[in-house]
Amino acid sequence: MNVRDAKILIVGGSSGMGLAVAQRCLEAGAAVTIAGRSAERLQAARATLQAPARLQAVEVDIAQEAQVAALFARTGTLDHIVSTAADIRGAYQLLPALDLADAQRVVDSKFLGPLLLAKHGAPKLDAAGSLTFTSGVAAYRPAARGSVVAAINAALEGLVRALAVELAPLRVNAVSPGWVDTPIWSAVAGDAKDATLDAMAQRLPVGRIGQPADIADAIAFLMGNGFTTGTVLHVEGGHRLA
């Protein structure tokens, strides 16, 4: 990935996979803007990334169109846009217990947010630029309690293919992660996080759970490969086989 002097926006860059992407891009010489809803997490991310002059942090809710438009007015021209944002708190429920407000947060963060990023971000991108979103293995291996997340991941992948056609020659792709050890698991599994991840590690052909750096590698490939668009890159340790 050659992104020296490139300008990259990473939504969800304050933690987990997005933070790993930000670290990688900064190390490669890019100018990075991380964006997210939590000022506190953005501040912590700046500290983790040692707040170089090439790093900016912007508080934004990507489900709010006015805020997305203001974000791009602030960033100016860009080379790449990445979104790893996902708010799935409370969404893993059997249907009788499902609260539509929890489902709406998944729709907002993983579908409407990317749609708005494409709408307002595409005009800011260089012609050789890219948008990279994150879906997930749940679209292929759904489980009880996971209907909402599975459906939205699948919808996002359909959006990626359509945008790759509509926005060409801009490239639009998605990474589909498997189970990755990120802070989101504390919200999903609570005190059972470690046991849950360990059980999945024993099932996977690679024998381990993913790490944020694994996903950062995949996103770096999609940003750097100029002949890849409308593609879903699966990075899930063989989960679709297990």
Q: Which two tokens stand for residue 195?
A: 């046991």
Contact of 37 with 60, CB cutoff 8 Å: yes
Q: Is the dihedral of CA 12, 17, 18, 19 positive or negative?
A: positive
What are the backbone angles phi and psi of residue 53, rounded to the nearest 5°? -60, -20
Contact of 153 with 88, CB cutoff 8 Å: no
Give me the residue label for tokens 């991310």.
45
Contact of 149 with 194, CB cutoff 8 Å: no
The residue from 14, 83, 130, 135 that is catalytic is 135
Separation between Cα atoms, residue 22 and residue 32, nearest integer Å: 7
What are the backbone angles phi and psi of residue 65, rounded to the nearest 5°? -60, -40
What are the backbone angles phi and psi of residue 83, rounded to the nearest 5°? -130, 120
Active site annotation includes 14: no
Contact of 21 with 6, CB cutoff 8 Å: no
Separation between Cα atoms, residue 205 and residue 218, nearest integer Å: 19
CB atoms within 10 A of CB 144: 9
Active site amino acids: 135
